[in-house]
Amino acid sequence: MPKNRIMMALVLVAVAAGCAGGYGKKDKLLFALDRFNNQVRWGRQEQVATFFVPGLRNRYLKLVESKGEGLHISTVHFLRSDVSRKMTRAVVRYRFRWHNSSDIYVHKTIIVEHWHWVKGAWVLSKLEKASGPDVPILPTGKLGMDKPNRDGGSATSGSTDQE
């Protein structure tokens, strides 16, 4: 079992022990993070799209359609997370290793994911590239949604403020 998987398993056990008695926001966040990033890795675009707020969902599907051919994500490593005290926001960093079948280079990109708690579920409202080349299918940059409305739509877009 890779070192990263063992670390994530330990984090899951620790959080689950702290939230005994049902599935709380932490449990749902860990499930969403694991599910989203594994679905991205395995190229399950329709499942990945369900985690995005509507504006990013459409942008993601367009990117996959235009740039997803031949893209292979070999690993996704959890780096660190910062969760708000009220468990309504989470900022999580991952390292993606990926390549295109058209070249021989393996790229490393660090992606920062911004998650918000909306109507009993975690939604991905913004992706930022912290370092490395753009992952062709991930909608990073200034067009992310800073904070979703209660219905999961965009409250603002284009801001670079940290929450």
Percentage of the chain surpassing pLDDT 90?
Answer: 58
Percentage of the chain surpassing pLDDT 70?
Answer: 72
Q: Please state, in angstroms and rounded to a whole number, the distance separating the CA atoms of residues 43 and 96.
A: 13
Domain boundaries, the chain: 3-157
- Kindly state the average pLDDT of the residues 22-29: 89
Arch. (CATH architecture) of 3-157: Roll (3.10)
Judge residue 83's burial from the number of C-beta atoms within 10 Å of its C-beta, 0-12 exposed, 13-18 middle, 19 or more buried.
Answer: middle
- Kindly state the average pLDDT of the residues 35-59: 93
Rounded to the nearest 10°, the torsion over CA 113, 117, 118, 119 is 140
Out of 20-29, 68-77, 152-161, the most confident range is 68-77
More confident residue, 144 or 114: 114
Contacts 24+ apart (CB under 8 A), 3-9: 4/75, 4/77, 4/78, 7/78, 8/34, 8/78
Say if residue 12's pLDDT is above 60: no
What is residue 69's predicted lDDT score, i.e. its pLDDT? 85
Residue with tokens 């984090």: 11
What is residue 154's predicted lDDT score, i.e. its pLDDT? 45
What is residue 72's predicted lDDT score, i.e. its pLDDT? 93
Helix axes 3-18, 25-41, angle to 10 degrees: 160
Say if residue 143's pLDDT is above 50: no
Start-end of H helices in 19-156? 25-41, 45-49, 54-67
Sign of the torsion angle spanned by Cα atoms 87, 19, 52, 35: positive
37: nearest Cα among 8, 6, 78: 78
Q: What is the pLDDT of the chain when averaged over all its residues?
A: 82
Give this prediction's pTM: 0.74
